[in-house]
Structure 1
């Protein structure tokens, strides 16, 4: 019975693939007569041996077994591209730039804000991504930012297209769960952690309109198909990850006010779960890098005219800066959010004045780094859906290696798929005895994933670390030694032989 269905499914795929080939062949022929002038027919002569030799050949293997299907579809794709060269053009896979028609919503310097989009006809899933890139919080450091990082404050130099990578990739090999969604990339040009709602005026040298840019893009996408969406995933990295936490509920409320409350709005916050902890060494609040996180946000929130989630604002009246820190705003959110966070985030360490410049760290710095991992782990305990590897890095979901990092044997795309399944089950069960409680996925499909090992890069699937002086890749033990890790003393503290500890480190145990 099962094998019969498999044969029928295989035959159906063959027929569909052959139909695609025939249609593309006809389209390729039709392209030759476009432009209003049909070329006269010419007698076809048999191809010469040279023609036959030079012609690209794509023989198809029709072995009718399920295991051969991926190989067969790859061959069909190659044949289709040979018949219809435009389908092979990389440009068709790229996201294309569109500026907002509402000219009052702008980047910092008053140039029009915009977005990149690659539509996926027939898909009811939308992924809207918020770019990251720090911030500025005074005229002085915004002027410096404008001189050195203008693309993050102005749209004048944006390219006409962008190639999607990681979770924005249209390739199933790189993006197994979201590859066929409608992809939208919103460039970061407001320098306000996607929170501002203030215009550029004679008194204000810069506009800060991050929150308004998101709202305007969502409105613009409605007639493009978002109004019929089933799921909208608002994702972002770094400042964009914090922007997700600040805007996911506001996006859902906007859609509801427009009559599209059935769209399931969710968040994916990557590397935006910052801590308001004390710096390793105190410094004057001169620029973004040296300023303590709390002080920078306190100054910024006034300068930007920031908007924070309503429930968080009510919970922290007069101290709305608290809403920029993940573990404080998360508890007030209504929409589900998946949190992705390195336990040893490089941006967090930078603002905490731990600068890994190629020199081995001091003992105090090493203890501070370990404590950071513990503090971060504690703030994530109440988060049901998250992925937190014990790595020293920053941002991941748009990296081409994002499928390779694992926590307890589960990759990030797999964890997101499990999360998606649990949310789907909750909606399906809505109205029965489990109403309001997300159904837990099977044990084989985990979505609360956090490393328990205490050191940076004790997870063997962490991104490669390179020596800043030589550029050479470093093993886990080389990296830890470079960081000042004392194998002898740590083995003594753990009550084990140093060689055994070394073996555990090298194997990632």
Structure 2
């Protein structure tokens, strides 16, 4: 190119008629040469960019395959932040664009929870094996969700022996898998978990059989350890070193026995976190752990947790577990400390914010209260129907004075790990919306995944170092205005008629499973037969003409 330019300038200099135009023409040729150089530079950069994308995709695929062979997760890539400053503005913009374009070329599977054992701790599962937890960290979130697993309990030598035979993984960690898939509120899928998919997530498996309350170690005179409360405390201490110390919020949650464990431990965990990380706000989320200490419909031999009335099984259990219960509640019931396992007794003594999720016709409560006669299947007489309907009203009454609750009229049990948990709704407000509203102190429940900025809307394309023009600023301002309008519309939609956050929702429909967002029941017979019998027998109990119920169906069928 330089040779060609020299020849051109040499030819023009020989003509005397062009002496006055020589400087102007030289400048024109110089500018043309610079434009050509810039174009070649852009082309090289685009080629380099394409090669970088190809190399990154290839390396990610190889890394994913190698990690799969090792049995480890390929989801985290170590990156030195200090080295980023050496790239300069253009290099960082190029790297950011490569990351955006290669987002879908790596491992497309959802990240899994990784197993961590408490190897250097004295707290153990029932059989003496190491307790532990599963973790999935998110560097983009300062919010942590710690989930306590549920699964009944045992209360004496016979019930624990039966539990070891039927549910060995709930008493030992020896066969825990290396990784576990998260679901429901532990899912990283924004469709399944619209408000918490980016949070740091921890699952603590249940292997203490004591509703997360025990402190008893295994000795020569006892076959099992019951250390649920100590396991939870030890995991929280470990998580401090994993990043919880720098968090802004910890949501301690659990289902069934895990939900009861939240109630029993929440104030103690809040004090522990406050002593080590004062800036972390602790809240409790209880799912299906709000049991009633009422009289069962009828008694029967007590062999295990799901055949015993809850009062009887808990009274036996506290003699075995050496439980650690909240002081204020124990002081309120000094001769009946077993009542501190029941939410409506314990809740008034708590100092930490707690949100209660409880089906009005909880399947586990119905089972332990022996409402159904196994020999008669689904057939219920008038007294059984009355007891069932009264049970729903009793549950609703105990939740009236809670600050945050969600109680659908469903015949079901735990909710939070169900993949369709976000679809459950009362008065057109979903469970996930209500929880987010409560947890954010009344903020609008617009899903964070709906407000993310797309790569195409950013002014960060490579080589675009110039500031945005006035036209671009005007467009950005309009986009922000439209975004605010959409957010306000969602805010009005997700709030109640009085414009306030809906964090206390109790179903008003009059019979079991009358909420059409309830999960399907697993009835043993065909739904047509069940629906016909259900409505006719319910009508007789409620003093309604059965003919008027002929065209009424159970929701969802």
Cα contact 2:382–2:541 (8 A) shared by 1 = no
Counterpart Cα distance in 2 of 1:208 and 1:412: 33
Question: TM-score, normalized by length of structure 1?
Answer: 0.77
From 92, 102, 114, the counterpart of 1:80: 102
Counterpart Cα distance in 2 of 1:292 and 1:422: 38
* 1:40-59 aligned within 5 A: none
Counterpart Cα distance in 2 of 1:153 and 1:120: 30
* 1:461-476 aligned within 5 A: 461-469=517-525, 472=526, 474=527
Deviations 1:11-69 (A, max 9, x none): xxxxxxxxx999764523556999xxxxxxxxxxxxxxxxxxxxxxxxxxxxxxxxxxx
Which structure carries more helix by proportion? 2
Deviations 1:377-404 (A, max 9, x none): 1100001211100010010111011111
1:445 is paired with a residue whose SS is: coil
Gaps of 5+ in 1: 1-19, 35-75, 426-439
Counterpart Cα distance in 1 of 2:507 and 2:61: 58
Cα contact 1:465–1:479 (8 A) shared by 2 = no
Structure 1 or 2, whichever has the larger Rg, is: 2
2:431 equivalent to 1:375: no
Q: How many residues align?
A: 422
How far apart are 1:314 and its partner, in Å? 1.6
Question: Match for residue 317 of structure 1?
Answer: 334
> CA distance change for structure 1 residues 485 and 443 in 2, over 3 Å: closer, same or farther?
farther
How far apart are 1:312 and its partner, in Å? 1.1
Counterpart Cα distance in 1 of 2:62 and 2:133: 35
Counterpart Cα distance in 2 of 1:21 and 1:346: 57
Question: TM-score, normalized by length of structure 2?
Answer: 0.71
How far apart are 1:290 and its partner, in Å? 2.1
Question: Match for residue 67 of structure 2?
Answer: none
Question: Match for residue 56 of structure 2?
Answer: 27
Cα contact 1:105–1:212 (8 A) shared by 2 = yes
How far apart are 1:283 and its partner, in Å? 2.1
How far apart are 1:204 and its partner, in Å? 1.4
2:118 equivalent to 1:89: no
Counterpart Cα distance in 2 of 1:418 and 1:375: 26
2:311 equivalent to 1:294: yes
Counterpart Cα distance in 2 of 1:33 and 1:406: 44
Runs of 4 or more above 4 Å deviation = 20-26, 29-34, 76-79, 497-508
Question: Match for residue 537 of structure 2?
Answer: 486
> CA distance change for structure 1 residues 211 and 462 in 2, over 3 Å: closer, same or farther?
same
2:318 is paired with a residue whose SS is: helix
Question: Match for residue 515 of structure 2?
Answer: 459
2:251 equivalent to 1:233: yes
2:128 equivalent to 1:110: yes
Counterpart Cα distance in 2 of 1:507 and 1:187: 34
* 1:1-400 aligned within 5 A: 25-29=54-58, 80=102, 83-84=105-106, 86=107, 88-90=108-110, 93-258=111-276, 260-355=277-372, 358-400=377-419
Cα contact 2:359–2:411 (8 A) shared by 1 = yes
Counterpart Cα distance in 1 of 2:62 and 2:411: 57
Gaps of 5+ in 2: 1-48, 64-97, 445-494
How far apart are 1:405 and its partner, in Å? 1.4
Question: Match for residue 410 of structure 1?
Answer: 429
Say which is worse superposed, 24-33 or 407-416, in terms of deviation: 24-33
